[in-house]
Amino acid sequence: MSRPEILILDYGSGNLRSAQRALERVGAIVTVSSDFDEAMGAQALVLPGVGAFEACMAGIRGVRGDVIIDRRLAGGLPVLGICVGMQVLFERGVEHGTECEGLGEWPGVVEPLDAPILPHMGWNTISVPSGSRILEGLEGERFYFVHSYAVTRWELTENDPSRRAPIVSWANHGVDFVAAVENGPLVATQFHPEKSGDAGLSLLEAWLGTIR
């Protein structure tokens, strides 16, 4: 079986090498690049994200990442968002009273968690619905989170019964928030699978299995 070829989009965000190493451990050939043509031609694309929503969006637009992601998804080509790389897939983010437009792949707002301790940093379990392709068998496992903002209301409803509705997993830190979404070729996690030990590696391996 051939090894899947993955491109991690380099738009100035941190944490690229840990994601690269984790994907390589589960069998992928990984390139880190900001090149438009390489990103468009990759078998699958990873959109990482560390830091502020607005800064990440500026970096993504700076390498035409918004165009890359939109065109890839229009063609059914896999994209995996991680942490802020998941958050920017929603319509907008609100940080320190400032709103910033996101990529708009899903309706919803990224906003501060209403929790007694922030950031939400460390290990947490998630609630996994039936039908998950990336989290099957990982129910009850703990994943590593580090964030102060999240989406607490899932606003997308699927009115076409012929299409598969997105699979949304949840976690709780003060309030319930979206922990992962599986929506056809677009998959995203609020937690860091590359920092989540064996459970995270199992998730990445399962994701690779969906694109082979």
* pLDDT tens profile 76-95: 999 999 999 999 999 999 98
CA-based radius of gyration for the chain: 16
Cβ of 35: how many Cβ atoms within 10 Å?
Answer: 15
CATH number of 5-211: 3.40.50.880
Active site residue 141: no
Q: Which of 83, 105, 141, 147 is catalytic?
A: 83
Going by the DSSP 8-state scheme, the letter that residue 160 receives in this structure is -
Q: What is the pLDDT of residue 30?
A: 98
> Residue 162: is its pLDDT beyond 60?
no
Is residue 83 part of the annotated active site? The answer reads: yes
Q: Which residue has the higher pLDDT, 164 or 124?
A: 124
Spot the catalytic one: 120, 147, 173, 192: 192
Residue 46: predicted pLDDT: 98
Domains of the chain by residue range: 5-211
User: Catalytic residue among 105, 111, 182, 194, which?
Assistant: 194
> Is residue 164 scored above 80 in pLDDT?
no
Q: What is the mean pLDDT of the chain?
A: 94
Residues 129-154, mean pLDDT to the nearest whole number: 96
For the question of residue 100 being annotated catalytic, the response is no
Other CB atoms within 10 A of residue 24 CB:
13
